[in-house]
A and B are shown apart, each in its own frame.
Chain A
Amino acid sequence: MRLAVNRGSDAGEASSLAALPGLCCQAAGGDAAEAQVLTAAWLLLYEAAAITDNIEDRDPPADWWAQSGSAAALSVATGLYFSACQALIQLEAALPDLRTAREVRDEMLRRVLEMCSGQHLDLTQPRPTLATYWQVAGAKSGTFFGMAGWAGARLATTDPQTLQGFQEFGVQLGLLIQILDDLKEYQILEQRAHENALDPESLPDLGRSLPAAYVREVAPPDVVARFEQLLAAPTATADAGAQIVQTIERFGGAAYVLAELEVKRLKALEGLESAGARPPARDDLLRLLAAVYPLD
């Protein structure tokens, strides 16, 4: 399961997601400008985690390290992790309140460890149950975006309900992004089949996805066994990909994915409500949510 902040072509959404810590700070009554160093640390952490995630999952390399190899990429990731730590130390100089700077630094580092444990679970459970799926998604994407919500708000307030609300908004946003990232894998499968580009190396690993975990949860053992065979070899036959999707749909998998998407969106909205998020930043956060998961 990739840390679900993927690369694509929509620069508009790029800038809006990067603004998450600042918007939460502002919506909590603070000055978004005070969130610049925090945002830098958060983005550095993301870049580092994305590289190590890519290598550990044995995904196709990014263009910039395709030639130099994973060892060089790991070296860059190490540098980025320590750069993030350096930025967190710089919070003490950037913020008017030393206690706030230290709390944010310590809490973010603690949450990075939480993400690491999520990654470890992800690596050791290549065919997760539904419970494990949510544990991994929560520890990785949920924690990463929840961290931005909490830390941004913490620059403005110490009120527990406000902090919990912005954290919840971030967590649910992260889970939404994770589910949608999973769905992209099926889009890639469909596209590859259409192009007849069924090289196993280029195919997504669907086994860790939410629809796959759902089938494991509800389908009878013989169906699950056949499903796992299809997942292991999605190019074995011309219609293997279609059989995978049909199995998911036959057992209500599409409806389940929809239900989870809608519940996450609802919980994100409740988080903002509970936090007492203030306009205009609240409206920007709502737009950010809508950009990630548009309403029909």
Chain B
Amino acid sequence: MSLAKVVHQLSTDNDFAAQWKSDPEGTLEKQGLKLSSEELAFLKTGLKRRDVDEVRLADYLYKAKNWQF
């Protein structure tokens, strides 16, 4: 469950977030964490660490459209 741990630390740990910014792979290695290539790719480019409150669950609820099989 490394992705969860990394996202949690990015969201709540300023030191981790700062280290991640300059050296993501090194930061993972120091913590003994491993991510898949897809997870690493997304976190390096798609999720820049911002203020904790900025990413909201409600932002993604709109994507849960009703659909019918």
List chain A positions with a Cβ less than 8 A from chain B.
5-11, 13-14, 17-18, 43, 46, 130-131, 180-181, 183-184, 186-187, 190, 211, 214, 217-218, 245, 248-263, 266-267, 270, 291-294
Contact = CB atoms under 8 A, between A and B. Distances in A.
Interface in B1-44: 1, 3-5, 7-8, 10-12, 36, 38-39, 41-43
Nearest to B67: A13
B10 A255 contact: yes
Nearest to B4: A217
Interface string B32-69: 00001011011100110000110111111101111111
B61 A14 contact: no
A254 B61 CA distance: 10
Given A130-B4, A255-B10, 18 more contacts: A6-B68, A6-B69, A7-B66, A7-B68, A8-B68, A43-B69, A217-B5, A245-B58, A250-B12, A254-B59, A260-B3, A261-B60, A261-B63, A262-B46, A263-B3, A266-B38, A266-B42, A291-B67
A14 B67 CA distance: 6
A130 B4 CA distance: 9
9 contacts: A8-B68, A14-B68, A184-B61, A217-B4, A217-B5, A251-B8, A255-B7, A262-B46, A263-B42
B60 A8 contact: no
B66 A254 contact: no
B57 A253 contact: yes
A14 B60 CA distance: 21
A211 B4 CA distance: 10
Contacts of B64: 180-181, 183-184, 187
Contacts of A252: 7-8, 10-12, 52, 55
Contacts of B58: 190, 245
Given A254-B60, A255-B10, A261-B60, A17 B67 contact: yes
A31 B68 CA distance: 25
A183 B43 CA distance: 21
Interface SS of chain B: helix, strand, loop or mixed? helix
Nearest to A263: B38
Contacts of B11: 251-252, 255
B34 to A, nearest CB: 14
Contacts of B43: 259
Q: Lowest 9 A-B CB distances belong to which pairs?
A: A8-B66, A252-B11, A14-B68, A13-B67, A218-B8, A183-B64, A184-B64, A255-B55, A256-B7
Contacts of A130: 1, 4
B39 A6 contact: no
Nearest to A182: B64
B33 to A, nearest CB: 13
A187 B42 contact: no
Given A262-B46, A266-B38, A186 B4 contact: no
A249 B7 contact: no
